[in-house]
Amino acid sequence: MNSLAQLRQHSTVVADTGDFDQLAQFAPQDATTNPSLVLKAVQSPRYRPLLEQAVAAHPGASAATVAEHLLVAFGIEILKLVPGRVSTEIDPRLSHDTAASIATAQRLIALYAAAGVPRARVLIKLASTWEGIQAARQLEQQGIHTNLTLLFCLAQARACADASVQLISPFVGRIYDWFKKTAGHSWNEAAMAGPNDPGVRSVGEIYRHYKRHGIRTEVMAASFRNTGQIIALAGCDLMTISPALLAELAQATTPVERRLALHEGRIEVPPPALTEAEFHAALAADAMARDKLAEGIAQFIADTETLEQLILCHSA
């Protein structure tokens, strides 16, 4: 049995891609997208027709409006290939605007509904800012399920649990990147691999906190740099994995055993909810989480704006 098949025994495998062919190849349960992945996809001749169709179907609409239709078009096609859910991200420029995030999420869900896609098959993806988490709280109360992304620390995870979000995507690779860059020449790759990887440790801490307190929010580890990180987190509820690493796992026969225990020291008393002040104080004290959250939002904004420029070029 290859390593990917073994991993599926412990965690739900999700594909982190906008490439339909790769989805068909690896048959994941769910799929996730983001502005960067959609931008990469539409630059390929294989997926350019989706961009052209979205532009043609909405003459005179703003680039932002056409982009929303394009994201949903990708989601609809993805749902033809996966049995579960697709995550669709709202405009990252709204990461600090709760009301606008809610309105955008409602529009996206309405577009899916118009195409006959039930709410249960869509996760609205928002950045794990305080404002994004509060938007998710209200969306969940409306029956719109959410995926909180760009999550780098326990404080963000606790706030998401307080908001009863459906799923969180704590990042592994970007945490690893930050610590490796910060350490510079003193970084010891072998010593910091596997369970010692700072990204692996962060996700493990979040997973254990959730399970100890009986928190129902799903934990989907994301942003992997190598298969060692994936194997070290076997047992996490879900893992969203790039096609390149899925291919590596499919070719490997490395043993994969559950590393994260499902039940570990269960504590029935829920932890106290974080206040907004406590949330911001925790982020301010965590240079890695603060830096990577801001950097991630900035990168998604840049890719969103590049996507809108492509839309405008095709609208001319």
* Domain coordinates in residue numbering, the chain: 3-315
CA torsion through residues 71, 76, 81, 82, sign = positive
CB 229 within 8 A of CB 174: no
Q: What is the pLDDT of residues 28-42, one digit of tens each?
A: 999 998 889 999 999
> For this structure, is 40 an active site residue?
no
**CA 46, CA 71: separation in Å to the nearest integer?**
16
The answer to whether the beta carbons of residues 35 and 87 sit under 8 Å apart is no
Residue 238 CB contacts under 8 Å (≥ 6 apart), including other chains: 11, 12, 13, 14, 29, 30, 167, 218, 219, 220, 221
Q: How big is the chain, counted in residues?
A: 316
Q: Are 263 and 130 in contact (CB under 8 A)?
A: no
- Residue in the block written with tokens 């390929």: 44
DSSP bridge pairs for 218:
167
Helix pair 287-315, 154-162: axis angle to 10 deg: 70
What kind of architecture, by CATH, is found in domain 3-315?
Alpha-Beta Barrel (3.20)
What is the spatial distance between Cα 121 and Cα 145, in angstroms, rounded to a whole number? Answer: 9
Using left for φ > 0, alpha for ψ between -120 and 50, and beta otherwise, residue 193 falls in: beta
pTM score, whole prediction: 0.96
In this structure, what token pair is assigned to residue 63?
């680039």
Mapping DSSP to helix (H, G, I), strand (E, B) and coil, where does residue 241 land?
strand
End-to-end CA distance of the chain, in Å?
52
Question: Tens digit of pLDDT for each residue in 252-292?
Answer: 999 999 999 876 667 767 789 999 999 999 999 999 999 99
Tens of pLDDT along 141-200? 999 999 999 999 999 999 999 999 999 999 999 999 999 999 999 999 999 999 999 999
Of these residues, 40, 80, 125, 292, which one is catalytic? 125
